[in-house]
Chains A and B, each alone.
Chain A
Amino acid sequence: MPELPIALPAHVPLSWYLILSVILFVVGAAGFLLRRNIITVFMCIELMLNAVNLTFIAFSHQLKQVDGHIYSFFVMVVAAAEAAVGLAIILTVFKNRSTLEVDEVSSMKL
C-alpha cells in the first residue's frame, strides 16, 4: 500500500495532545469558576468533557486499543443527555426569574 502523502496524526507526539487536553480542561474549569452567565458556565463544562474525549482518544491511539474511542462515544452520549436536561433546567430558571446571572439566582442563604 502506498504511503499517504498527508501527515497522519501519528506524527504528532502523544504529549502534545495531552498538553492540549490539560489546557482545555483548565480553561473549562477556570471558566466555570469565574464566568457569571449560566450558559457560559454550562459551555465550560462541555469544554471540560471535550478535554476528556481528547485524552481518551490520544491514549487509545497510543495504546493501539479501540476501547478509548468507544469510551469517547459514551462520554458524548452522556454529555448530550446532560445538555438536554441542563438546558431545560436553565430555561425554567429563566422563565421564573428572567435572568441568567448565577449570582442573581442564589436566594438561599449560605
Chain B
Amino acid sequence: MPASFVPPSPQELFRFAPEMLMTVIATLIMVMEPLSAPEGKRKFAVITFLTLVAGIVLTLMGASDPGTAFSKMLVLDGFAEFFRILVMVVGLLIVLISTNYLKLEQHESGEYYALILFSIIGQCLMVSANELIMLFIGLECSSIASYVLAGYLRDDKRNNESALKYFLLGSFATAFLLYGVAWIYGLTGTTNLSAIRATLLDPTNHPNLVMLGAATALLFVGLAFKVSAAPFQMWAPDVYQGAPAPVTAFMSVGPKAAAFAMFLRILMTAFEPLKDRWEPILWTSALVTMLIGNFAALRQANIKRLLAYSSIAHAGYVMVALTTHSEIGTAAAMFYLASYAFMNIGAFAVVTYLARRGEKHVATQDLAGLSQTQPLVAAMLTIFLLSLTGIPLTAGFFGKFYIFKAALDANLVWLAVLGMLNSAVAAYYYLRIIVVMYMEPPAESAEELLAPTAGIRVAIFCTAIVTLFLGIFPSIILDFAGKSAALIR
C-alpha cells in the first residue's frame, strides 16, 4: 500500500459541501441546545430548514461537475444528485410538520432537528457511496439517528417499544450486511463497486461462485431489511405504528429512498454480471412484498399501521422495478420513489394533524365526518390516497405505469400482471378511508379539531400540488431520472 497521501482537491471538497455544511450545523445545534432557553427552541427548526435549503442549492451548484471524490470512495453523478435532493426535500417537509407536533407533546428541542440532519447526512452518503464500506457508514449514520428519533418521546411506551424493535432488528440486519461485505472483500480483494464488477467480469479470475452467492445473499438480507422487502418486512408495522407520526413519515420515505438508491447502485454496477442469479430472488421478493403489504393492510384499523403496510406494498412495486435490471427500470424506480415521497408525507402530515395531543386519534374511524369539519384537509387527504391507489391524474398513477411498463419491456409479464392485480386490492383499503371521511357523520364525542397550523398547512399544500403536478406533467422528473439512470461505473 503506498503511503503517499493526496489531499482532496477543492472540486472534490465542493462536491460534498452539502454534507459538510449539514455536519457542522447539526453539531452546532447539539452544542447550542443546552445553552438555549426552553422557549427559544423554535429557532433550531428555522436553522435546520435554512441548512437544508442551502444544501439543496449547493447540490444544484455542484451538479455541473460530476465525478468521484476522496480516493473514489464517494461518487457524485446524476443519480446521487437526484436522491440527495429528494432526501433533503423530504427533510424540509418533515421539519414543517414536526414543529407543531413537538410543541403539542411539549418536547421541543434542538436534538430532534440535529438528529434529522444527521440522518439526512447518512442518506446523502448512502446514495453517493461508491464503495461497500462507505455505504455501510452512511447506512449506519442514517439508521442510528433514526433509532433515536423512533423513541424520541422517551416517556411514551409506544415510542420505547418502537425504538427498541427498530434498534434490535436494524442492528441484526446490519450485521448480516456487513458480514456479506466482509466476504465480498475477501473473495474479490476490493470493496470498490467498479473494481468488484471488473473482477467478476475478468475471465482469468475464477471467484468461487458458491461463496460469492452466499455473500451476496447476506448482502441481500441487509438491504431487503432496510427497504422493508419480504421476507424481512416484519419490523415495519410495529416500528411505524409506535414512532411519533412525523418521524414515521420520515422513516417511511427518506431512509427507504436512500436504501433503494444503494440497492439500485449495487445491482446496476458491482453485481451486474451476476444479474441472472439475482433475478429469481428479486422476483419472488417483489411479489411476496406486494402480497403481504396489500393483504395485511386490508384488516388494519389503525391508520398509521395501515400506512405502514401500504409502505411495504409500495416497496414491493419498487422491487418490481429493481427486478427489471434496466435503465428504464432504474428511472421508473427513481420516479416512483420521488412521487411516493410526496404523497406519503402528505398523508402522514394529515395523520399528524388529526392525531392531536398524545396521538389519541389514529383509528380509521376517527376520520369520520372529516369532510364536514375540515373539508379542505379531507380533500387533500383524498388526493394523497387516490395517488397512493394509482388513479390517473396523480403522481402515483404514472409511478406505477412506468414501473409496470419497464417490467413488460424486460419480459416480466407475470410479475407485471400480478403487480397490477395487487394495486386493485390496494384500492379497497385506500378508498375505504375516503368513504369514512365523506359518508359517515362525525362522532358525537369527538374532541374539537383546531384548524391546522401554518407548518402543516404549507406541507399539505405543497405535497398535494406536487402530487397533482407530477400526475399531469410526469416528464419533468422522469426526464431527469432517465438521464441520470446511467450510473458512473
Contact with A along B190-202 (1 / 0, CB 8 A): 1100000000000
Q: Is the CB of A52 within 8 A of B185?
A: no
The residue from B137, B148, B157 contacting A85, defined by CB atoms under 8 A apart? B148
Tally of contacts, chain A with chain B, CB under 8 A: 117
Bits for A73-94, please: 1 = Cβ < 8 Å to B, else 0. Answer: 0110010011001101110110
* Neighbouring B residues of A65 by C-beta, 8 Å: 1, 189
CA distance A51 to B183 in the complex (A): 11
Q: Using a CB-CB cutoff of 8 Å, which residues 42-75 of chain A contact chain B?
A: 42, 45, 48-49, 51-52, 55-56, 58-59, 62-63, 65-68, 71, 74-75
Are the CB atoms of A49 and B167 closer together than 8 Å?
no
Q: Which residues of A contact B312 (CB under 8 A)?
A: none
B146-205 contacts to A (CB < 8 Å): 147-148, 151, 154-155, 157-158, 160-161, 163-165, 167-168, 171-172, 174-176, 178-179, 181-183, 185-186, 189-191
B164 in complex: contacting residue of A63, A71, A105, CB < 8 Å: A105
CA distance A82 to B181 in the complex (A): 19
Which residue of chain A has its CB nearest to the CB of B187?
A59
Give A64's nearest chain B residue, CB to CB: B1
Q: Across the interface, do B168 and A42 meet the contact criterion of CB distance under 8 Å?
A: yes
With a cutoff of 8 Å between Cβ atoms, the chain B residues found around residue A45 in the complex are: 168, 171-172, 175
Q: What residues of A have a CB within 8 angstroms of the CB of B172 in the complex?
A: 29, 32, 45, 48
A97's contact among B160, B168, B171, B190, by CB below 8 Å, is which?
B160
Q: Closest CB of chain B to A99's CB: distance in Å? A: 11
Determine the residue in chain B with the shortest Cβ distance to A75. B178
Q: A65-B189, A86-B171 are in contact. Are A93 and B179 (CB under 8 A)?
A: no
Nearest A residue (CB) for B132: A71
Q: Is the CB of A108 within 8 A of B163?
A: no
Q: Known: A105-B164, A108-B161. Is A55-B136 also a contact (CB below 8 A)?
A: no
Bound-complex Cα distance A2 to B164 (A) = 55
Q: Verify A85–B147 contact, CB threshold 8 A.
A: yes
Q: A45-B175, A92-B154, A110-B238 are known contacts. Are A38 and B137 too (CB-CB below 8 A)?
A: no
> Would you call B228 an interface residue if the criterion is a C-beta within 8 Å of the partner chain's C-beta atoms?
no
- Residue B241, interface by CB 8 Å: yes
Q: Are B154 and A71 in contact (CB under 8 A)?
A: no
Category for how many chain A residues contact B = 35 or more
Question: Which B residues are in CB contact (< 8 Å) with A51?
Answer: 179
Q: Is the CB of B175 within 8 A of A48?
A: yes
**Contact A105 B179, beta carbon cutoff 8 Å:** no
Question: From residue B306, how far is it (CB to closest CB) to chain A in Å?
Answer: 13
A78 touches B136 (CB 8 A): yes
Q: Are A82 and B171 in contact (CB under 8 A)?
A: yes
Contacts A/B (CB < 8 Å), 21 sampled: A38-B164, A45-B171, A52-B175, A55-B182, A58-B186, A59-B185, A71-B185, A78-B140, A78-B144, A85-B144, A86-B147, A86-B167, A86-B168, A86-B171, A89-B163, A89-B164, A89-B167, A106-B161, A106-B238, A107-B158, A108-B161
**Apart from the given pairs A85-B147, A106-B161, 4 other A-B contacts in the complex at a CB distance below 8 Å:** A45-B168, A45-B172, A48-B175, A89-B164
Chain A residues within 8 Å of B, Cβ to Cβ? 18, 25, 28-29, 32, 38, 41-42, 45, 48-49, 51-52, 55-56, 58-59, 62-63, 65-68, 71, 74-75, 78, 81-82, 85-86, 88-90, 92-93, 96-97, 105-108, 110
Residues of chain B having any CB pair with chain A under 8 Å: 1, 133, 136-137, 140, 144, 147-148, 151, 154-155, 157-158, 160-161, 163-165, 167-168, 171-172, 174-176, 178-179, 181-183, 185-186, 189-191, 234, 237-238, 241-242, 305
**7 tightest CB-CB pairs across the interface, nearest first?**
A59-B186, A48-B175, A55-B182, A52-B178, A93-B160, A45-B171, A78-B140
